[in-house]
Structure 1
Amino acid sequence: MTTTYAPTLSAAARGAASPHQASEAASSQTTCYHCGSSLDAANALHGNIADQSQTFCCAGCQAIAQTLHASGMGHIYDGPIAFARPLDGDKRAEAEAVWATYDLPVMRERFVRARADGAEEVSLAITGMRCAACVWLIERALSRVVGIRETTVNYATERARLVCEPGAVRLSAVFAAIADVGYEAWPDQPSARRTAEARERRSLLIRLGIAMLGMMQVMMYAWPVYLHGSDIPVDQTRLMQWASLLLTVPVVLISAAPIFRSAWRQVRHAHVGMDVPVALGIGAAFVASVFATVRGHGETYFDSVTMFVAFLLAARYLELRARQRAASGAEALVRQLPATCRRMDAASGTLQTIPVATLCVGDCVEVRAGEVLPADGVIERGTTEIDESLLSGESVPRQRDIGSAVLAGSYNVASAIRVRVSRVGTQTRLAAIVELLDRALTDKPRMAELADHVAGRFVAVLLGWAVLTAIAWWWIDPTRMFAVTVAVLVVSCPCALSLATPSALAAASGALARRGVLVTRGHAIESLAAVTDVLLDKTGTLTEGRLRLLSIETFGDVDAESCLAMACAMEQSENHPIAQSLRAAAPDALTLPAVECATNVPGHGVHAVVGEQSLRLGTQLFAATQYANQSVKAIRYGYEAPMEEVPPDAACTVVWLGRDGQPLARFTLADTPRADAPACLGALREQGLCLHLVSGDAPETVRWWANRLGIDHAVGGASPEDKRTYVQQLQARRARVLAVGDGINDAPLLAQAQVSIAIGTGAPLAQAGADAILTEPRLSAISEAVYIGRRTLRVVRQNLGWAFAYNAISIPLATLGWLSPLAAGIGMSVSSLLVALNAWRLSRAPRHVA
């Protein structure tokens, strides 16, 4: 079926000029009407589009073109293709100034990567995509940019990858092409560190896959021999041995290659670690099996080799994933600060968009509402409110006037300001906190795993025992020397010992993940088992971190509901936290009156005409200058605590609604505790832990919250340095500290503690310094984590005890020649299986701990 809608794709829209089209026609070549790809005219499909015959490369392109025309979207083939509205006008001019900064060398070095083949690669984050058609539009728009070799747009991740000719593509042209079709794009450059981590994960996963495939195939050949070995003809047994050899070779040469390299480095540096006996066991069993296969008699251990390598690599992959889940402090800092800013040109007085990296002390920058400050400085023009919760721990934005100091990384809430830069780069307050974080990470005391604690002596004794066994059997029976020595190495190969700790940690990590605790460092679980003190932040950790309306006190004959309706109407266009809290407290059925002439006065409030009344909403000096102690009617909103448990004034934010200087209502807002905070703290106390509350809020506020939640030790007004010092003082008294926080100001605290948990909704930098992340808003997971940590330590000790008991029994038997290498291999596998099964009991840990 054909459609009858009109115009054909123009030469510009096709990305080809008329001479090129003429050349194609002369050579019996044409292009697809929909996707523009070249094709042979003899093989092209033809369809009637708008009474004109068009060519298509496939039925899919023909169907899409017909569907677009039928739905009234045929105009996209006439010129610039856009499903969304392109960026234009003043927004386009402002965006172009920002795009131009990405063409500067300092920005290209940051976002453009060189490939091995000489090309350049750029990763983009794209916003506004709604369906697969958006992907097609963006790829088509980018195909017209000169110099782009390859474009891949991923709808699921909203990311695009461009491969470009070296030095031929300007990033501003790429952004402009995407904006022309109605979308917005910015660089999304993964760091070199993250790229290296991804490469390491991919390599280990490939080697693990090879080992798992080899293990399954070899076991398929070994199982019949175990069950019916005497009944199988010799020629069939030999065939299965040769097949097992061929399948084991890639496991040894590829999957186990890093183990052999690590063992060689340890021997070369006179440090015998766990990889040495592992490599000897794998190598000896493989060599013995090869000799037995070639000679046509003797035992083979290909199944033991492949199974051991697969189990070991699986444990190491889980450990690697756990180590790499935490980002570095430097990466988090880059994500916190903006890439560009607007600098005031001293000569012309105009604003120039420049990279933040080129800012200098003394520059004047403009920071608009909703933007992050690029550097430390002093406000020169304007008044606003600054949210410094990630830096100072304060839960409420604070007013900042001319002459006030502001910090890089803080958030401008209310209105535009101009800031004279006083510190940039590594001199800023944010950089100083990151330096504290790095120093704390370096100095952090770490508990060595129990297996590593005894590995050195065990390995030395094991190797010495194998040598003595070989010497003894050389004198006793030289024909059995090799078989007995291999049996000793195989049966004592520290598979169970090496899996004792990682398998338990892996099972515990899975159990914690299912409870909303993501472990990011391997030592975290064992450290949780030894915790004696728990140190918690207040804002965003024990509390919701957002304001909630507690009460409305009315004056005169105006009811609370009417006052709330007028306040919500006046704040309807504002995005301030107080405005959001007032609107959230309003019932859905509340009718808002009409508002006229609403004007925001930064730092004071809003004045507007509401129902022919001139009202003011804001501070007392702004809205209710004539307030006296009048009779009030208080109504509680959204807070179930009795009146005597209302936070003190220092912990509350008060907003006044007034008319002609006379108060109409007083709104009291404050942070509120998380619903499960009391239960979590109670569970921690029942486990014998001492609780501490340390916060950047006012001391009076912190003491009130500590009394409210039953916490004995509380410190307020604490800076990041004070928090870290507090932890050091506890550690000096031999305390094992678990720290819980969410803000950037908590990062040094989290890094200094023996083990730390960051709230998942908090700052990336805080998560970078933490050993675990709480991914669900469920504080009870913290007490569960401590319980699982203690249970994990018990399981690790059981596994280690079993591993040593097994070796204490099996090694003498193998030394005496009572165990063949085959029996030794089976014993090693059974021992490892028992250790793994015991470890996975941790996955059945209870969800709620009392």
Structure 2
Amino acid sequence: MSVTAQSLAAPVAGDSKVECFHCGLPAPSDARYAVVIEGQRRPMCCHGCQAVAEAIVAAGLTDFYRHRTARSQRAEDLIPEQLRGLELYDRADLQKSFVRVESEQVREAALILEGIVCAACVWLNEHHVNALPGVLEFRVNYSTHRARVRWDERQIKLSTILAAIATIGYIAHPFDPSRQEALQKQERTLALRRLAVAGLFAMQVMMLAVGLYVGEYQSMDAWIREFLRWVCLILTVPVVAYSAQPFFTAAWRDLRRRQLGMDVPVSLAILAAFIASVWHTGQGHGEIYYDSVTMFVFFLLTGRFLEMTARHRAGQVSEALVRMLPATATRLDTAGCEAIVPIAELVAGDQVLVRPGETIPADGRVEEGASSVDESLLSGESLPLPRQIGEALIGGSVNIESPLVMRIEKVGAETVLSAIVRLLDRAQGEKPRLALLADRIAGWFIAVLLVVAALVFSVWWLLSDFDTAFRVTLSVLVVTCPCALSLATPTAIVAATGVLTRLGVLTTRGHALETLACVTHVIFDKTGTLTYGRPQVVTVESVSDWEPEHCRRLAAALERGSEHPVGRALAEGTHLRIPEATELRNTPGSGVEGWIEGRCYRVGRPEFVAGLSHEEVAERYDLDVASTWVALGDETGLLAWFQLNDVLRPGAAEAVNALQNRGLTLELLSGDRPDTVAHIAQEVAIASARGGLSPQDKLNRLRELQQKGAVVAMVGDG
């Protein structure tokens, strides 16, 4: 059967009050807007919905109308004034913040889609956009409503892609974490409102139901019993009319598509129990099920709220990385004057001033100054890394000690941080196989359930009367309703994800929970996973007449208020009285000098400390190659050595041993120094360890193992 789309002037047969086939709003009775879809004339409410429907039919995507589980938004509402200027998104200066130049012709962009209401919307967008000439790949993450598109700049422009999405009734715009957060907040607020109404009235109905149950055995007066039944009815109406509305809406759409979804028996059970209760309340006798109806709706909404929470949580990891970048930066002009500008205005070649404690806004290199930067959230390096003129800086890392002037080299989608976000985005978006299996089982289960319910009603009607048949059939629907499938699956997924998150395991794929049982290799990150991720003083070795405790007090006095992790480690952890240090002077990358009780002291690198007494002090590597050794001295010479280590977390060795006893192969991959990584691996008895790796290097190692047939679990956030 051929499928065509056309505007029709003839009226659409049927009732004068018709709904728009696309969005569900009332359509004109004269059918001035209509589209032929699969041989049937379908009414539309406006030019916008008509145009969208015609675009869907012309693209051969009419399956969208059979598979959708919710009405689309009205097309006029989805084409705001801003879409008239889509060509602006083709400008290079606007694209730099969200478009990555993959090659000379290929581009990749992160988008967010508005108007997504069900999985069919995802299917429609992916098929429609992927069919455009020049589009290399278009994927939509249903959990976060985010999309990634790759296209050939020679064949198609980004504005054309955005316009094509608009023609089928959706809005696509560059991904903005704050805007997505607002959309998720709106969805969460509506879900909480329905859940709160159901929970509040369910508690009230349950309290009254207890009185009715007790009254059956305590000879409750008839007028009191009738009064309580009517009050229960009044309290149940908001739950059925408002809180249960999503179930009824989805069930009606399933029936119109001649499909059996999980909401069909749910809605049937709710309506049957409620109608029977209303009937019996009006008759003054018979069973009522108001408490069952309200609690049933409350539990189902709880399950869906948990599922929604899991979807929102799926995108929080990458969004947290995006928020690592500051909103503004201090740009320097040719005269050296400072100007606070949004980071979106930064371009390659700009000079930027980064003060101590500030986040580096983009990738670049040091032009003036020397300092240390904290890259632990990006590379896993537990200690700040010294940065001198000409050395690279990564956007998202934090300047620790002294001001730096940097030259911007990469901004927006070209930065290392954006690459990490893309890796996470590509890893997300898959529906768990467990949920897919539950959906398939539920489909067969629902069909069997409805057949059994019909047979039960018929048999009991023949054996008894209508009231008995109705009561027994209602019991079958309520007892066998697939609430366990709709509630248990999301609850189990959220519970397991929550436990894994608390244990430090990052779940980046929907099927990871099922795959976990088949794991053959476990890859550990070091910093913050096996270790605390911050140095701690483990040894104080005095080489003078002073006690180690006194040397520790002097070092703590010099490093008090320091932002450097080594300085904080020296300043913390002692309960002794710390003397006052004056005239403190910090030398980036070397150490601190100050006066205590009339004497000048230095703490830091050995060569820096030796400069005070003009003696030679060698680096300390003799005891532990993985340790950081800090010297303390005065004008007379060296006074003490401090050994600092990134200490293992309690239970790390036991956890590794337990995994090895299960026959799993373990590896340690880290961005920290190779000697430090080797030392930690030796402590926890992991045979294979690699250090100095970037996130991409770690991913490459995982893929290498997977190509050999291994099932790999990654533990940590590296």
Indicate the TM-score class for this superposition, using the shorter chain for normalisation.
0.5 to 0.7
Could you say what secondary structure the match of 2:378 adopts? helix
Q: 1:576 aligns with which of 564, 571, 581?
A: 564
Q: Would you say the 8 A contact 2:328–2:341 is kept in 1?
A: yes
CA distance in 2, matches of 1:237, 1:453: 45
Q: CA deviation at 1:368?
A: 0.9
Q: Would you say the 8 A contact 2:325–2:360 is kept in 1?
A: yes
Provide TM-score, normalisation by structure 2: 0.64
Q: CA deviation at 1:497?
A: 5.1
Q: CA deviation at 1:209?
A: 2.4
CA distance in 1, matches of 2:416, 2:486: 44
CA distance in 2, matches of 1:561, 1:673: 24
Deviation readout 1:55-94 (Å, 9 max, x if unpaired): xxxxxxxxxxxxxxxxxxxxxxxxxxxxxxxxxxxxxxxx
* 1:652 corresponds to 2:622: no
Q: What residue is the counterpart of 1:439 in the other structure?
A: 426
Q: 1:718 aligns with which of 693, 713, 716?
A: 693
* 1:454 corresponds to 2:429: no
* 1:603 corresponds to 2:589: yes
Higher relative contact order (CA 8 A, sep 6+): 1
Q: Would you say the 8 A contact 2:521–2:666 is kept in 1?
A: yes
Q: CA deviation at 1:253?
A: 1.2
Q: Which moved more, 1:518-527 or 1:235-244?
A: 518-527
The alpha-carbon distance between structure 1 residues 316 and 297, as it changes in their structure 2 partners (threshold 3 A), is same
Q: Would you say the 8 A contact 1:210–1:255 is kept in 2?
A: no
The alpha-carbon distance between structure 1 residues 715 and 222, as it changes in their structure 2 partners (threshold 3 A), is farther
Give the counterpart letter for 2:343 in structure 1: V
Give the counterpart letter for 1:285 in structure 2: A
Q: CA deviation at 1:578?
A: 2.0
Give the counterpart letter for 1:672 in structure 2: V
The alpha-carbon distance between structure 1 residues 484 and 212, as it changes in their structure 2 partners (threshold 3 A), is closer
CA distance in 2, matches of 1:556, 1:498: 71
CA distance in 2, matches of 1:573, 1:305: 61
* 1:406 corresponds to 2:393: yes
Q: Would you say the 8 A contact 1:210–1:250 is kept in 2?
A: no
* 1:619 corresponds to 2:605: yes
Q: What residue is the counterpart of 1:422 in the other structure?
A: 409
Q: Would you say the 8 A contact 2:272–2:474 is kept in 1?
A: yes
Give the counterpart letter for 1:208 in structure 2: A
Q: What residue is the counterpart of 1:364 in the other structure?
A: 351
Q: What residue is the counterpart of 1:538 in the other structure?
A: 526
Q: CA deviation at 1:412?
A: 0.6
Give the counterpart letter for 1:462 in structure 2: L
Higher Rg: 1
> Which runs of no fewer than 5 residues in structure 1 stay unpaired?
1-105, 107-187, 635-642, 747-850
Give the counterpart letter for 2:202 in structure 1: M
Deviation readout 1:646-704 (Å, 9 max, x if unpaired): 642xx222333456796554433221112332344445555665543221123332222
The alpha-carbon distance between structure 1 residues 307 and 557, as it changes in their structure 2 partners (threshold 3 A), is closer
Provide TM-score, normalisation by structure 1: 0.55
Q: What residue is the counterpart of 1:674 in the other structure?
A: 649
Could you say what secondary structure the match of 1:380 adopts? strand
Q: CA deviation at 1:351?
A: 0.8
CA distance in 2, matches of 1:552, 1:232: 81
> Which runs of no fewer than 5 residues in structure 2 stay unpaired?
1-93, 95-177
The alpha-carbon distance between structure 1 residues 674 and 360, as it changes in their structure 2 partners (threshold 3 A), is same
Q: Would you say the 8 A contact 2:559–2:567 is kept in 1?
A: yes
CA distance in 1, matches of 2:347, 2:498: 48
CA distance in 1, matches of 2:673, 2:343: 33
The alpha-carbon distance between structure 1 residues 506 and 673, as it changes in their structure 2 partners (threshold 3 A), is closer
Q: What residue is the counterpart of 1:192 in the other structure?
A: 182
Could you say what secondary structure the match of 1:341 adopts? strand
Q: CA deviation at 1:279?
A: 0.9
CA distance in 2, matches of 1:247, 1:520: 43
Give the counterpart letter for 1:583 in structure 2: A
Give the counterpart letter for 1:600 in structure 2: N
Could you say what secondary structure the match of 2:572 adopts? helix
Deviation readout 1:544-592 (Å, 9 max, x if unpaired): 2222233445557676556545544443464322222222365614656
* 1:267 corresponds to 2:273: no
The alpha-carbon distance between structure 1 residues 720 and 200, as it changes in their structure 2 partners (threshold 3 A), is farther
CA distance in 2, matches of 1:544, 1:486: 57
The alpha-carbon distance between structure 1 residues 551 and 309, as it changes in their structure 2 partners (threshold 3 A), is closer
Q: CA deviation at 1:343?
A: 1.0
Q: Would you say the 8 A contact 1:533–1:689 is kept in 2?
A: yes
Q: 1:705 aligns with which of 680, 683, 704?
A: 680
Q: Would you say the 8 A contact 1:325–1:520 is kept in 2?
A: no
Give the counterpart letter for 1:543 in structure 2: T
Q: Would you say the 8 A contact 2:521–2:710 is kept in 1?
A: yes
Give the counterpart letter for 2:608 in structure 1: F
Could you say what secondary structure the match of 1:465 adopts? helix
Q: CA deviation at 1:490?
A: 3.6
Could you say what secondary structure the match of 2:429 adopts? helix
The alpha-carbon distance between structure 1 residues 696 and 504, as it changes in their structure 2 partners (threshold 3 A), is closer
Q: CA deviation at 1:483?
A: 5.2
Q: 1:206 aligns with which of 184, 187, 196?
A: 196
Q: CA deviation at 1:396?
A: 0.8
Q: Would you say the 8 A contact 1:449–1:501 is kept in 2?
A: no
Could you say what secondary structure the match of 1:343 adopts? strand
CA distance in 2, matches of 1:735, 1:453: 29
Q: 1:384 aligns with which of 350, 371, 382?
A: 371
Give the counterpart letter for 1:195 in structure 2: K
The alpha-carbon distance between structure 1 residues 219 and 557, as it changes in their structure 2 partners (threshold 3 A), is closer
Q: What residue is the counterpart of 2:77 in the other structure?
A: none
Paired residue total = 539
CA distance in 1, matches of 2:287, 2:544: 98
Give the counterpart letter for 2:523 in structure 1: L
Q: CA deviation at 1:388?
A: 0.9
